[in-house]
Structures are given as structure tokens and as C-alpha cells.
Structure 1
Amino acid sequence: MALDHHVEQLLAGLQAQGLKSFENMSVDEARAVVSTFTGLQAPSEPVARIEDLHYVSDTTELPLRIHLPEGTGPRPVVLYFHGGGFVAGDLEVVDEPARALANETGTVVVTAAYRRAPEHRFPAAADDAWAALNWVAAHIAEHGGDPGNIVVMGDSAGGNLAAVTALRSRDQGGPALRGQVLIYPVIDPNAQLPSRIDYADGYLITAAALDWFWEQYLSAPEDADNPYAVPTRADRVDGLPPALILTTENEVTRDEAEQYGARLRAEGVDVRTVRFDGLVHGVYWMSGAVPRSRELRAAVADFVKSVVAPTSAA
């Protein structure tokens, strides 16, 4: 399918500005570029309350933000990990989509920051995501959430963290998650599938850029065999919570995400995989620039509402 018209316009504008591919940037440049995605977003919706707090992982205090919708609880909870190639991204770039999700689903949406590469390589981010889940399970009741009613979610590298957190929760007796939402997740650094070849030169993320992000994140080549870095390396994926996997047609990570979904389904996990033709990596953050980002957001909201238990009080 042809590129979405708004995506085409956006890419042409970025090219005219001389935007370099990520593998040709410094870490600071990559972080600065990712932070500009807030400029591609619609105005943020008001929510009933925002709480900025911290959790502790490996003696490090890290920020998290709680987005509370109108109404009383206890409310189901979505724990959302931002993307950015393990290198970039923060709570600000996902504040607008988190607010929208809280309002649409009536859930408490928690966004959790994590230590970023290359200053903090694997397993730092994975350990932080696990610590954030355990913080939510222990403390979200104090903030209007239901600790027995949690969905993990992430986009891009955050999708990887959501997937490995679901694995870890199964393996280590963590919370019984209601679901996992993986939005164009970065799954496997060694995947050599058609989309990695067909879209090697981009859009937005090239194959070389994807390799660069993985090089910043992994501490050593053998980390690629660790299922808490690369979920496809898990010996088994049965017993995981229902999954929604969203991919876009024109991107390098498409096939590895869809292949992971096929494996989950083959081992008995309830999986919904949806590909959005004409779109590219990153559109979940582009509510102002790409109107079809609403399609991804609607799919997420519908899935969340379908897997969480009803709110116990109106």
C-alpha cells in the first residue's frame, strides 16, 4: 500500500530539514530528536489528576507518572514503557498518549522511566521495568488503582520491555497480568526477515539505526541469548497474558514482531496482531501530524477494555 499522505508529508519535511538517520547521530543528538516528537502530538487532554512520584530499582530512584481519569476506583492499571531505542525517550514524550489512554479506557495509566543506554546497558532497563511493575503492584492501590488488574504496555523499545516484563512476571511469580500491549516492538537484534531487508533504508528507522540502538543497549554479544533482552530466546512462551501486537507496514521491525505474535499464538496465548498498512514506526506518538494514529490508539483502548476486569465502583 502507498504511504499514508500525512506520513509522506512528514517524511518530506524531515528530509528537507536535513534530519540524519539515527546511526549517524550522537547519543545526545538522538535524544534531542526523539524529544521533538511532542511537537507532532495533538494538544494534551486534561485528566482528573497527575501524580509525579518515584520508584527504586537497584538503589536508583527513577521517576514515574500516574495519570488518573475522572471517576472513582479502584481502577484497572496500564503500566506504559516509552520507546526510544533504549537510548532516548522520557515521560514527557508519552504524556499526551498516556492521558488520552486514561480518558478513553477509564484506567490509571502509569508511565515509568528507566535507565537508558549506553550509560546503563542491559540488564538495567529490563530490571527497572520489572521494579516498576512490582512498585505498581505494591503501591497503586494508594493512588486509585487495582493491583490485581494490570496491563503492561510499550512502544518500540518499550514494547520489548513490556514483553520481557510479562515473561519475567510469569517466571518469577510476579503479578498475574491481564494483558500485554506491544506497539511495533523491537524484538530481536538478529532477525533477518523480509521487512528488515525491504525497509533497510527507512522510514524513520533504518536497519542500520536499529543495529545501532541494539549496540548501545546490549552489554555483550551473549546478551542476545538472554530472554529478558530478546524475548524470542525464551524456552517457552505459554502461560503469558493475552497480547495485542500492533505493527506498521513500512518498517524494519514489522516481521519480527509479527513472528513473535505467531509464536505466542502457537503456544496457546490469546494474541491479536494488527498491521496498519501505509504507516511507519513512531506513529503512536504522532496524533497531531498523522490522523491515522487514532487507529492504533483505538485498537489499544479496545483491547485494554476487553481484558481488564470491570471497575468495582462507578
Structure 2
Amino acid sequence: MPLDPYVVDLLAKARSLGRPPLRRLTPAEARAFVDADTAAKPRGPDLFAVEAVEVPGPAGPLRLRIYRPAAGVRPAVLYLHGGGFVFCDLDSHDGICRLLAARSGRTVVAVDYRLAPEHPFPAAADDGLAVLRLMAERADAFAIDPARIVVAGDSAGGNLAAVTALRARDEGGPPIEGQILAYPVTASYDAGFESYRIFAEGFGLTASDMVWFWDHYADARGRAHPHAAPFLATSLAGLPPAFVFTAEYDVLRDEGEAYARRLLEAGVLTRFERVRALHHGFLHLVDHPPAAAVFDAMADWLAGLER
């Protein structure tokens, strides 16, 4: 299917800004551009409550933002934002978390995990697992059902959600109800997936961007560890049900789809969807109907876990 005309226009506008590629930027310079872009992103719907809290983490306090669609105890989604492990934060993904909470009826807990290169692998993964355990242990304080926690994330956050599910399986829990992996990073840039060649340039996220991200996040030894590249896990058996979706025009498309196949082959109840005509990062387009429809799909999948 041809690239969505709305996305074509967005990509043209981005090119017109004349920004240098990531490989020519420092992390601080890249974050400044991301911060500027965040101010222009759609805000998402109003909710019953949005709360900022601070909790203890593995290496100091962690900021969380809790999105409550309604009063009372709710099932929950632990959300880990994308950004290549190097940038983005609670603000950059505020619209995504708002719409996910509104459409699903679940309380969404977003994590401001530590970023690379200041905090390389496995810092972000450690933070994700720590917050999952805290949510389960202090469910009353979060006003959530500890038996109904789903882990979710987009791009690098999809990686962290998958890794959190793996580590919870292997490191004593807590149990997870499900996992949502949105166009996830599941393997290193040198894994040989064809989409790296097909969509190397011209569709937003580039192949060279992924090299830049990985080089800041993990060294060669780290990139070979399944807690950095979950596709390398020896077995995916025993993981919670998964909803994996990819974007048709995305360097990460093939590795996300390969991970979904491995989940299915391991006997994990898995729903997979390739979202046609859209590119990497489309969840941020919360006001664009084809992207917003994916939030409905996530809500339907989450509702199915409850039946």
C-alpha cells in the first residue's frame, strides 16, 4: 500500500527543517530537537486524573506519570516510551499515554527511565523491571489490580517491554497479564533484517539512526545479550500473551515481525498486525484516524484479556 499522504506531508515538512542527521549530533543536541518537537505534538484527551509521582529506583528516584481514566481500582498498563534509549521522556509520549488510557479504560503508568549514554544498558531495563515490581507490591497505593498488569512500549520502549516480560518470567515475577509491543526494537542493527535495506532512508527513522542509538546504548557484548536484544533469547516459551504490531514503512518492521513469529512458534498467544501505509512512530499521530484506530485495536485486545 502507498505511504499515507498525511505521512508523506509530515516527512516533507521534517526535511524542510534542514536538521542534521543523528550521526552528526550529540545526545544533548538531539534531545533539544526532540524537546522542540514535543511542544507541537497533539495533547490527547482529558482524563479523570493525571498524577506525577516519584518512586525509588535501582539507582535513585524515578519519575512516573499516572494516567487515570476513571476513579477506583483499575487494571493497569506499565508504559515504556520510545526514543532509541537516548531521548524522549514523559512529555514526549503524553498524548500516547492519554489516548491509551482513555480508549482502554486502564490506568497507564509511564516511566521516566534512565537514558543512554549517561546510563547505558542495562539501566533502562533495570528501571522497567523495578517499576513493574513496585506496581505489583504497592498496588493499593497505585489503585490498580496487581493481577492485571500489562507491559507496553513503542520502539525502544517496545524493546524494554519485551525484556521486562522476559525478566519477569526468568527472575521471579511478578506475573504479567500481557505485553503490547509497538514497532519494537528486538535485535541489533547488524542482525541482517531486510527492512534495514528497504527503508534505510526517507521514512523518518533511518538505518544510520539505529546504529547511532545502539552505539550509545550498548557495546558489542551488550548487543549480544537477550536483555538488550530479546530476539536472541533462547526460548520465548512461557511469556504472557502478546499484541505485536509493526509499521509497513519502517526499518524495524522485519525484526518486530520475526519476534512475533518466534512468540507464536513458542506457543505464546500472539496477535500480530502490520499497520499498512504508516511509518515508524505513527502512534504519536493521535489525531490521525488510521493511527488512532490502532489504539482501538489495543483496547479491544486488552478487553479480550479480561474475558
TM-score above 0.5, yes or no: yes
Q: 1:161 to 1:301 in 2, by over 3 A?
A: same
- Unaligned runs of 5+ residues in structure 2 are none
Contact in 2 for aligned 1:98/1:111 (Cα 8 Å): yes
Residue 217 (structure 1) aligns with: 217
1:50-69 alignment, distance < 5 Å: 50-69=50-69
2:233 matched residue in structure 1 = 234
CA distance in 1, matches of 2:87, 2:168: 25
Q: Is the 8 A contact 2:101 2:107 kept in 1?
A: yes
Distance 1:59 1:24 in 2: 30
- The number of residues matched between the two structures is 306
Residue 12 of structure 1 aligns with an amino acid whose one-letter code is A
Q: Which has the higher contact order (CA 8 A, sep 6+)?
A: 1
Q: Is the 8 A contact 1:91 1:112 kept in 2?
A: yes
Deviation at 1:42, TM superposition (A): 3.0
How much does 1:56 deviate?
A: 2.0
Structure 1 unaligned regions, length at least 5: none
In 1, distance between residues paired with 2:39 and 2:245?
Answer: 23
The SS at the match of 2:52 is strand
Aligned pairs for 1:115-134 (under 5 A) are 115-134=114-133
Question: What does residue 295 of structure 2 align with?
Answer: 297
For the pair 1:32 / 2:11, whether they are aligned, the reply is no
Query: 1:144 aligned to 2:143?
Result: yes
Secondary structure at 2:90's aligned position in 1?
coil
1:58, distance to aligned residue in structure 2 (A): 2.2
Q: TM-score, normalised by structure 1?
A: 0.93
Moved more, 154-163 or 279-288: 279-288
| Corresponding residue number in structure 1 for 2:3 | 3
User: How much has 1:39 moved relative to structure 2?
Assistant: 4.5
Correspondence for 1:182: 181
CA distance in 1, matches of 2:235, 2:18: 45
The 8 Å contact of residues 196 and 252 in structure 1, kept in 2 or not, is answered as: yes
Say whether the 8 Å CA contact 2:147–2:175 is kept in structure 1: yes
- Partner-residue secondary structure (3-state), 2:158: helix
Aligned partners of 1:34 and 1:89 also within 8 Å: yes
Give a deviation string over 1:38-92, Cα, whole Å, max 9, x none: 34533431111122112222231110011111243x2100000000000001001
User: Contact 1:21 / 1:206 at 8 angstroms: preserved in 2?
Assistant: no
1:159 corresponds in structure 2 to 158
CA distance in 2, matches of 1:43, 1:205: 22
**What's the counterpart of residue 16 of structure 1?**
16
Partner of 1:100: 99
Among the aligned pairs, what percent are the same residue? 42
Q: Which amino acid is the alignment partner of residue 273 of structure 2? A: V
1:247-266 to structure 2, matched below 5 A, reads 247-266=246-265
- For 1:159 and 1:170, locate their aligned partners in 2 and report how far apart those are by CA, in whole Å: 17
- Please report how far the alpha carbon of residue 37 of structure 1 lies from its aligned counterpart in structure 2 after TM superposition: 4.3
CA RMSD of aligned residues (A): 1.5
User: How far 1:202 sits from its partner (Å)?
Assistant: 3.5
| Secondary structure of 2:278's aligned partner | coil
Q: Note if contact 2:45-2:99 (Cα within 8 Å) is conserved in structure 1.
A: yes
TM-score (norm 2): 0.95
- Tell me the SS of whatever aligns to 1:99: helix
One-letter amino acid of the counterpart of residue 253, structure 1: L
Check conservation: 1:264, 1:271, Cα contact below 8 A: yes
Range with bigger deviation, 16-25 or 36-45 = 36-45
Q: Return the alpha-carbon distance in structure 2 between the equivalents of residues 50 and 224 of structure 1.
A: 36
Q: Which amino acid aligns with 2:240?
A: P
Query: Does the C-alpha gap of structure 1 residues 30 and 39 become closer, same or farther in structure 2, counting only changes over 3 Å?
Result: same
Aligned partner letter, 1:299: A
Q: Within 2, Cα distance between the matches of 1:96 and 1:141?
A: 26
User: Where do 4+ consecutive residues of structure 1 move more than 6 Å?
Assistant: none
1:48 and 1:69 in contact (8 A); partners too: yes
**2:208 maps to what in 1?**
208
Report SS of the residue matched to 1:279: strand
Q: Aligned equivalents of 2:15 and 2:85: distance in 1? A: 24
Letter in 2 for 1:276: V
- Distance of aligned partners of 1:149 and 1:239 in 2 relative to their CA distance in 1, 3 Å threshold: same
- CA–CA separation in structure 2 for the residues paired with 1:37 and 1:268: 41
C-alpha distance after superposition, 1:114-148 (max 9, x if no partner) = 11000110011111111111111112322321111
For the residue of structure 1 that corresponds to 2:102, the secondary structure is: helix
